[in-house]
Structure 1
Amino acid sequence: MSENVSFSLWCDFIEREFLENQFKAMVEGRVIQGATSNPAIFQQALTNASYQEQKESLKGKDLKEIYENLAIEDIKRAAEILLPIYEDNPNDGYISFEIDPNLCDNSKGSIEEGIRLFKSIGYPNVMIKIPATKAGIVAMEELILQGIPVNATLVFSKEQAIDCMESFKKAYDMLKERNKIELKEYPRAVISIFVSRFDRKCDEIFRDKEIPMATLGIKNAQYLYKIVKEYSLPVRPLFASTGVKGGDLEPSYYIKELYHPYAINTAPLAALESFIELKVVDDAYLPSNEELEDYFKMVKEAEIDIEAVAKELLQQGLEDFKEAFRKILESLN
Structure 2
Amino acid sequence: MTTNNPLASLSEAGVSIWLDDLSRDRINSGNLAELIRDYHVTGVTTNPTIFAGALAGGRAYDDQVRELAARGASVDAAVKELTTTDVRNACDLFRDIYHATDGIDGRVSIEVDPGLAHDSEATAAEALDLWKTVDRPNLLVKIPATKAGLPAITRTLAEGVSVNVTLIFSTERYREVMDAFVSGLEQAKQRGHDVTQIHSVASFFVSRVDTEVDKRIDALDGAAAESARSARGAAAIANARLAYAAYQEVFTSDRWQELATAGARPQRPLWASTGMKDPNYRDTLYVEDLVVAGTVNTMPEKTLYATAEHGSINGDKVTGTADAAEKVFATLRQAGIDVADVFRVLEDEGVQKFEKSWAELQTTVREQLAESQR
Which TM-score tier does this pair reach, normalised by the shorter chain? over 0.9
Please identify, of 58-67 and 246-255, the stretch whose mean Cα deviation from structure 2 is larger.
Answer: 246-255
1:131-172 deviation line (CA, Å, top 9, x unaligned)? 111221111111111111101100001221111111111122
Displacement of 1:249 in angstroms is 2.4
CA shift in 2, pair 1:28/1:177, >3 Å: same
Q: 1:71 aligns with which of 73, 78, 83?
A: 83
Q: 1:210 aligns with which of 220, 229, 246?
A: 229
Corresponding letter in the other structure for 1:219? A
- Identity, in percent, stands at 28
Trace 1:62-141 onto structure 2 (pairs within 5 A).
62-89=74-101, 90-141=103-154
Give the Cα–Cα distance (whole angstroms) in 2 for the partners of residues 24 and 149 of structure 1. 24
Corresponding letter in the other structure for 1:307? A
Give the Cα–Cα distance (whole angstroms) in 1 for the partners of residues 216 and 147 of structure 2. 30
1:41-99 deviation line (CA, Å, top 9, x unaligned)? 00100011111222122123211111111111110111001111111111111100001
Corresponding letter in the other structure for 2:68? L
Displacement of 1:212 in angstroms is 4.1
Partner residue in 1 for 2:202 = 191
Trace 1:1-333 onto structure 2 (pairs within 5 A).
6-20=14-28, 21-29=30-38, 31-47=40-56, 48-59=58-69, 60-89=72-101, 90-179=103-192, 181=194, 185-207=196-218, 208=225, 209-232=228-251, 234-278=266-310, 281-286=313-318, 287-333=320-366
Residue pair 1:251, 1:270 contacting (<8 A) in 2 also:
no
1:3-23 deviation line (CA, Å, top 9, x unaligned)? x99211100000112124221
- Secondary structure of 1:242's counterpart equals coil
- Secondary structure of 1:190's counterpart equals strand
- Secondary structure of 2:106's counterpart equals coil
Give the Cα–Cα distance (whole angstroms) in 2 for the partners of residues 188 and 219 of structure 1. 26
Residue pair 2:169, 2:204 contacting (<8 A) in 1 also:
yes
Residue pair 2:164, 2:200 contacting (<8 A) in 1 also:
yes
Please identify, of 221-230 and 282-291, the stretch whose mean Cα deviation from structure 2 is larger.
Answer: 282-291
Corresponding letter in the other structure for 1:25? E
Give the Cα–Cα distance (whole angstroms) in 1 for the partners of residues 88 and 39 of structure 2. 19
- Secondary structure of 1:299's counterpart equals helix
Runs (5+) with no aligned partner, structure 2: 1-11, 219-224, 252-264, 367-374
Residue pair 1:186, 1:234 contacting (<8 A) in 2 also:
no
- Secondary structure of 1:49's counterpart equals coil
Give the Cα–Cα distance (whole angstroms) in 2 for the partners of residues 22 and 296 of structure 1. 41
1:203-246 deviation line (CA, Å, top 9, x unaligned)? 14435442243211111011112212322252000010111124
Displacement of 1:104 in angstroms is 0.6
Corresponding letter in the other structure for 1:222? R
Displacement of 1:250 in angstroms is 3.2
Q: Which runs of 4+ in 1 moved over 6 A?
A: none
Give the Cα–Cα distance (whole angstroms) in 2 for the partners of residues 326 and 279 of structure 1. 36
Displacement of 1:284 in angstroms is 4.3
What TM-score, normalized to structure 2? Answer: 0.83
What TM-score, normalized to structure 1? Answer: 0.93
Residue pair 2:139, 2:162 contacting (<8 A) in 1 also:
yes
Please identify, of 273-282 and 297-306, the stretch whose mean Cα deviation from structure 2 is larger.
Answer: 273-282
Residue pair 2:124, 2:155 contacting (<8 A) in 1 also:
yes
Runs (5+) with no aligned partner, structure 1: none
- Secondary structure of 2:61's counterpart equals helix
Give the Cα–Cα distance (whole angstroms) in 2 for the partners of residues 278 and 22 of structure 1. 21
Residue pair 1:11, 1:266 contacting (<8 A) in 2 also:
yes
- Secondary structure of 1:211's counterpart equals helix
Instruction: Tell me the matched-pair count.
Output: 328
Displacement of 1:279 in angstroms is 7.0
- Secondary structure of 1:10's counterpart equals strand
Give the Cα–Cα distance (whole angstroms) in 1 for the partners of residues 129 and 356 of structure 2. 23
1:239-274 deviation line (CA, Å, top 9, x unaligned)? 101111242223322111111111111010000011
Greater Rg by CA: 2
